[in-house]
Structure 1
Amino acid sequence: MRSRARAAALALLLAAGPALTGCVSALVGPAPEETSSPAVASPSPANSPAASPSPPVVAGTVTARDFSFEPADFTAGPGAVVTVTNTGTTAHTLTAQDGTFDTGPVAPGATATVTAPGQPGAYAYLCSFHHFMRGILTVS
């Protein structure tokens, strides 16, 4: 039933135009609850062998297509780089609700990157312009 309400809200938005985007978030409800796993203790530097910095791991691409993220829910390793591509017709962001990552505005046809948090857990995100565009980045 909730899926139908979201689909109806999205259809209303597309029919009514961008002037109503601020109102639609009130129709779809609050953001998904964010959860994170407890911090994992790491070995002390005295007990760890010296490690050279490794290049960031690329996790993949999330596409902002009109008014949705594809995929909306995805998994990345700690510190992995996620590319965000905007194939839509208006600017979007991919912004963590807890502020841990944010692409800033990504113009139509442009790309940006974010780095996955270092701590495992589930990080809810949204488009700061279109609050009904939501997803979850799972770091594991």
Structure 2
Amino acid sequence: MRPLVRAAALALLLAAGPVLTGCVSAFTVAGPEETSSSAVVPPSEPLSPVPSPSPVAGTVTVRDFAFDPADLTVRPGAVVIVTNTGTTTHTLTAQDGGFDTGPIAPGTAVSLTAPSRPGAYSYLCGFHHFMRGILTVA
């Protein structure tokens, strides 16, 4: 095998190793040291449902150096998706420091959890302070 091809094949195996390990571990067979007492027995009572994360309560889109909508009302602890459709990195940052998405690259989206305390929270873009809005938690 040529050295360049060999190096590329090795790099591919090293990069795929963790992924392949996860795949293989899902198909492992119990070893001889494991006994039948470790088998999973179905519960006699139904399991209680696992609480799901808060549903998305709203979306704010960054368009042309503006938040759309600039004013959004959500419930305490609600999830808001912030999508940057522009060509520049932005943030959605509470002026009181209560929440901050961090940098949102163009073409990406992040989630933001609204504060648990009701109130009106003024926010802005940390890079472009003229971009402003209000997140009302009620």
If the TM-score is normalised by the length of the shorter chain, which range does it land in? 0.5 to 0.7
> Looking at both structures, which has the greater relative contact order when contacts are Cα pairs under 8 Å and sequence separation is at least 6?
1
Superposed displacement of residue 54, structure 1:
5.5
Deviations 1:51-104 (A, max 9, x none): x85531311110001210000001010000000000001000000011111110
Structure 2 residue runs of 5 or longer lacking an equivalent are 1-49
Within the candidate set 78, 83, 103, 2:101 is matched to 103
- 2:130 is matched with 132
Displaced runs of 4+ in structure 1, greater than 4 A?
Answer: none
TM-score scaled by length of structure 2: 0.62
Q: Does structure 2 retain, via aligned residues, the 8 Å contact 1:66–1:90?
A: no
Equivalence for 2:117 = 119
Quick one: distance in 2 between partners of 1:88 and 1:103? Answer: 16
> RMSD of the alignment, in Å?
1.3
Look up the equivalent residue of 1:74 and give its one-letter code.
L
Q: Displacement, 1:120?
A: 0.4
Any idea what the Cα deviations from partners look like across 1:107-126, whole Å, max 9, x if unmatched? Answer: 00000111000000000000
In structure 1, the gaps of 5 or more residues are 1-51
TM superposition score normalised by structure 1: 0.61
Aligned residue for 2:116, secondary structure, equals: coil
2:135 is paired with a residue whose SS is strand
Percent identity between the two aligned chains: 74
